[in-house]
């Protein structure tokens, strides 16, 4: 499928705001790929498709995951915001014939992050934080961090996310704290 074909599908599936976010993340992921030595075309594709299921009804996300035999843990059942990443990864493989496992994995982990992330996974995770359309309090700090280095930026992004979730009383997915712990240990020279 061509990029234009993907864009037409995204336009049908997403609100205008979310579609523009997807384009902005694709551009930011491309820029970070060029800066940090990943493949810019794969980064663009991952950015473009990462939120493809974000505006889908919950039922559709659940059905998509079920079809792939994915069993949700209690934490996942109670955190519908995590579903679009898992369902999105299933959808791009099955419906869009994306065969690049690295791209599929980047989409799968773009919300929670995980331990042992690939370069492409980190780039998508961070591009989602620093894309041009983002304007949350703290975004300038994240934009500075992403210029300083991927590890610095991952440290910032994960501690920002975990703090935010804990302040809101939300459950933290094990993949998120495993990602955080791995980086915290690295930063302490362990």
Given ligand DGI, Fe ion, none, residue 64, with its beta carbon under 5 to 8 Å by kind, binds: none
Token pair of 176 as six digits: 């998120």
- CB of 53: closest distance to Fe ion in angstroms? 9
Name every residue whose Cβ is closer than 8 Å to that of residue 123 and which is 6 or more positions away in sequence: 29, 32, 33, 36, 38, 43, 46, 106, 150
Binding mask 76-105 for ligand DGI (x = CB under 6 A): ---x-xx--x--------------------
Q: Which residues 145-164 are close enough to bind ligand DGI by CB under 6 A?
A: 161
Among 30, 64, 112, 182, binds ligand DGI (CB under 6 A): 112
Distance CA 127, CA 121 (A): 10
The three state secondary structure string of 20-67 is HHHHHHHHHHHHHHHHHCCCHHHHHHHHHHCCCCCCCCHHHHHHHHHH
Contact segment (CB under 6 A) with ligand DGI among 37-45, 59-67, 90-98, 170-178 equals 170-178
Closer to ligand DGI by Cβ: residue 40 or 171: 171
By the rule CB under 5 A, 121 interacts with Fe ion:
no
DSSP state of 163: H
Binding-site residue total for Fe ion (CB under 5 A)? 2
51 contributes a contact to Fe ion by CB under 5 A: yes
The closest alpha carbon to 29, from 45, 43, 19, belongs to 43
Contact residues for 65 (Cβ-Cβ < 8 A; gap 6+): 72, 83, 86, 87, 90
Residue range at the interface with ligand DGI (CB under 6 A); choices 5-13, 55-63, 106-114, 149-157: 106-114
Distance of alpha carbon 14 from its chain centroid, rounded?
16
Positions in 9-48 near ligand DGI (CB under 6 A)? none
| Binding residues vs ligand DGI (CB under 6 A) | 51, 54, 79, 81-82, 85, 110-112, 128, 161, 165, 170-173, 176
| Binding residues vs Fe ion (CB under 5 A) | 51, 128
């Amino acid at each position: 499928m061509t990029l234009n074909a993907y864009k037409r599908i995204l336009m049908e599936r997403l609100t205008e705001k979310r579609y523009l976010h997807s384009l902005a993340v694709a551009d930011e992921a491309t820029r970070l790929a060029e800066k940090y030595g990943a493949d810019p075309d794969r980064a663009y594709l991952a950015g473009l498709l990462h939120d493809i299921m974000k505006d889908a009804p919950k039922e559709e996300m659940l059905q998509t995951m079920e079809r792939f035999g994915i069993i949700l843990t209690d934490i996942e059942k109670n955190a519908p915001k995590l579903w679009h990443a898992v369902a999105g990864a299933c959808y791009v493989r099955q419906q869009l014939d994306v065969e690049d496992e690295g791209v599929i994995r980047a989409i799968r982990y773009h919300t929670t992050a995980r331990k042992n992330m690939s370069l492409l996974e980190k780039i998508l995770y961070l591009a989602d934080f620093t894309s041009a359309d983002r304007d949350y309090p703290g975004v300038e700090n994240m934009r500075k961090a992403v210029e300083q280095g991927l590890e610095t930026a991952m440290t910032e992004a994960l501690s920002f996310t975990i703090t935010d979730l804990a302040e809101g009383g939300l459950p933290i997915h094990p993949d998120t704290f495993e990602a955080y712990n791995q980086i915290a240990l690295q930063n302490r020279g362990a």
